[in-house]
Amino acid sequence: MLYALIAANVVMFGVELARGANLVAPGPQVIIELGGSYPPLTLHGEWWRLGSSMFLHFGIIHLAMNMLCLYQVRAVEPVFGHVGFLVIYLLAGLGGGVASLIASSGNVVAAGASGAVFGAYGAFGAKLVLHRAQFEPDGWQRTMRRLTSFLAINAVIGFTAPGISISAHLGGFVVGVALGAALLAGAGAPQARTRRALGLALAGLALTAVGVLTIKADRDMTPVLREFDTVEHTALTSWRAVVERDKAGQLTDAEHIAFIDRELLAPHRKLRDELLATTDVPERLRPLFAAMSELVAARLAAWDALEAALAEHDATRRAALMEAFKRASAEVAELVNANNAEVDALKNK
């Protein structure tokens, strides 16, 4: 079962690469498309993402580290059997995913087998504690020191390195300890252990469903942010082309006014209305949305003024407005960068 799980993770990473993902640092969009956990989707009906995200990774290093740690704890499978090991792996991964959703401070993309891997270590820890008498004292101490060191090192990395979900690690570990203890309790016959593992799987799935249904998710602001980027990019690209035509004397004032009405004012008025209608903005994004609303209002005012200057054939006023647009474009670039930072936010597990 261990090798089948490793193979499944490797195959899914191959699928990521086939979909155009970067070998070292895939973008969040391809992870979302393949089933990464993203709160606005996971918590609004696409609960299956908690399972699929366990087999996706943010780059070759992320995959290699998780699979190496999983291989190092291969002694767990003989203890709990193939079915028991699979149940521990999957339920710990789900538990880590739920813990990550609870602790998440924003809409971030999560993927990785860390929760499941930590669950395997947790189950091994339960074995060491509950069946200590089965080990030689020196061997038990060495093994416990190694397990403690592994957990300590990963705790330090999780709390200090950016992009790592320590909550997923802790959640997976706790679930693994609980499952390991439950599977070790009572009769140890393989048939009894398998039945108990299947019963725990059903209970774990039910608890996962309860967790997903009770966590409140922020509204997904990505579509609005992308709409802003699209409108700004399209408008400014068209605007630069028209300015060049105007400089070359290929555009009358009437044509210029018609272009502003059709290509600039109309889409920005629609964008303004959409921003005003978006009332349930997460608190962390309210400054960004306020800045976008102010900038769109400034755009509309500037283009209205430019239309008036064109209608009055006022060349001096028109030149001043052109300079104002150049300064505004720098502000737009900063705002677009802020949008991209939000849209591309991610968190590895």
Q: Which residues are catalytic?
A: 114, 169
Cα 240 to its chain centre, rounded Å, is: 35
Q: Which helix (H) or strand (E) holds 236?
A: helix 222-247
Q: How far apart are CA 78 and CA 84, in angstroms?
A: 9
Tokens of 300: 């509309």
| Two structure tokens written together for 215 | 């966590």
Main-chain dihedrals φ then ψ at residue 296, nearest 5 degrees: -65, -40
Cross-strand partners of 24: none
Burial, 185: exposed, middle or buried (Cβ in 10 Å; 0-12, 13-18, 19+)?
exposed
The C-alpha atoms of residue 73 and residue 124 are separated, in whole angstroms, by 8
Rounded Cα–Cα distance for residues 133 and 140 (Å): 9
Residue 115 region, left (φ>0) first, then alpha (ψ -120 to 50), else beta?
A: alpha
Long-range contacts of 195-198 (CB under 8 A, 24+ apart): 197/80, 197/81, 197/83, 197/84, 197/86, 197/87, 198/83, 198/87
